[in-house]
Amino acid sequence: MAGVTMPHISRRSALTVIAAGGAALATGRALAQAAAGRAIYPVAVPVYQTQFVADRIGYFKEAGLDCKLVQGGSGVKTREIIASSQGDIGIGDVTHPMQLTNHGRAARVLLPVDTRSNSVMFILRKDLKDQGINSLEAFTQWKRPDGRKPIVSVSSLGGTNHVWSSYYMETMGLDDKVTWIGTGNVDTMLGSLKSKQVDILVSSLSLLNEAQQQGWGELLFDGTDEAIWNKHIGGKVPVTAHFTLQATIDKDPAKMQAYVTALWRASQWIKTHKPTEVYDAIEPYVGSTSREANLLEITSIQKVADYEGSIDAASFARGEKVWFREMTGIKPLKIADVVNSSLIEAARKAYPG
């Protein structure tokens, strides 16, 4: 097939070739007509780097996609964009497609990108750390000047940071002793800590580094630490994933295969490249924080990344106690109700890891 000329190939036919792992994609040949698409990410941090790499290295283009990346502003807003079919594929907490499915918009995880969260670092206001607050327990005993509970900020209520940080707090019996608020993107999250509108910011290493360098905050509790994670969670769990609606898959399965193939290739590229090379590729998307902060986060992501792109029964079972609880409001689902494995299996066949 590699030597066959296909001058009149249609877009759908071209994408079907991709779905089968055909030679047109393998040789990097430009497809006859690019399919317009929109990939949605919450905020400008490296944890969403598979989408950034797929764009910057050219994997979306090679897959026959004219893909525009759109910042949703938070995980919840990303979910809403996918739910309204204004975007083809989103990336965010694995609970987002579960929420959609629970509310009658059947959605599927297409491939996970990590095995534990890298964004559950509790960053305490520096002035509170200087006052001697050195544990979450001590923090929850402190009161704001007006007598109210301390305020914990996450990017969005119901998003990744909230789901996992609230689980930690619940297991410690501290969840009801704080007020949770969502503060949006990188700039507004850091701004809320700087202005002391919030007392703890739950986020990732890049924001911790930025807060430390600016003198706004210090690390209080590291929920990304493997030992702490294993103590409370028990091992590997898919936390962040690419997802879409089942209706979007049904409407154009070949197009969605093209997305998954491109993202799979991006994950394998990340696996074999140094943090500095990854940063150079994604820099246009993560410019809100410093190069140093981003390199630290990229390094930490490589430690938790899922380079297999699969979710097994054991990891799903570990996540159930976090996903299906009162805080999330998600009714229990089976793995078959949440995960589509056929597209990633086809991508792996076309491009073995």
Q: What is the pLDDT of residues 36-57, one digit of tens each?
A: 999 999 988 899 999 999 999 9
DSSP 8-state secondary structure symbol assigned to residue 176: G
Q: How confident is the model at residue 102 (pLDDT cuts 50, 70, 90)?
A: very high
CB 77 within 8 A of CB 238: no
Tokens of 303: 């430690």
Rounded CA separation 194/178 (Å):
19
**β-bridge partners, 221:** 122
Q: Indicate the CATH number for domain 34-115+235-348.
A: 3.40.190.10
Q: What percent of the chain has pLDDT over 70?
A: 91
The pLDDT of residue 158 is 83
User: pLDDT by residue (tens digit) across 333-350?
Assistant: 999 999 999 999 999 999
Q: What is the pLDDT of residue 289?
A: 79
What digits encode the pLDDT tens for the residues 247-274?
Answer: 999 999 999 999 999 999 999 999 999 9
Cα dist. 241→79, 96, 144, 149, 309 in Å?
A: 12, 9, 36, 33, 9
Q: Is the pLDDT at 15 greater than 50, yes or no?
A: no
Length of the chain (residues) = 353
pLDDT digits (tens, 9 = 90+) for 297-328: 899 899 899 999 999 999 999 999 999 999 99
Q: Which tops the pLDDT comparison, 21 or 120?
A: 120
Assign domain 119-231 one CATH number from 3.40.50.11540, 3.40.980.10, 3.40.190.10, 1.20.1640.10.
3.40.190.10
Domains 34-115+235-348 and 119-231 equal at CATH topology level: yes
Determine phi and psi for 218, rounding to 5 degrees. Answer: -140, 155
pLDDT at position 290: 85
CA distance 25 to 143: 59
Structure tokens that stand for 234 in this block: 């028990």
| Domain ranges across the chain | 34-115+235-348, 119-231
Sign of CA dihedral 352, 303, 217, 160: positive
Question: What's the predicted TM-score (pTM) here?
Answer: 0.82
d(CA 48, CA 296) in angstroms, rounded, equals 15
Instruction: Give the pLDDT score at 284.
Output: 94
The per-residue DSSP string of 196-239 comes to: TS-SEEEE-HHHHHHHHHHTSEEEEEETT-HHHHHHHT-S----
Please classify residue 160 by burial: count the beta carbons closer than 10 Å to its beta carbon, then call 0-12 exposed, 13-18 middle and 19+ buried.
Answer: buried
Distance CA 174, CA 167 (A): 10
- If pLDDT is split at 50, 70 and 90, which confidence band does 76 have? confident
> What pLDDT is stored for residue 194 in this prediction?
95
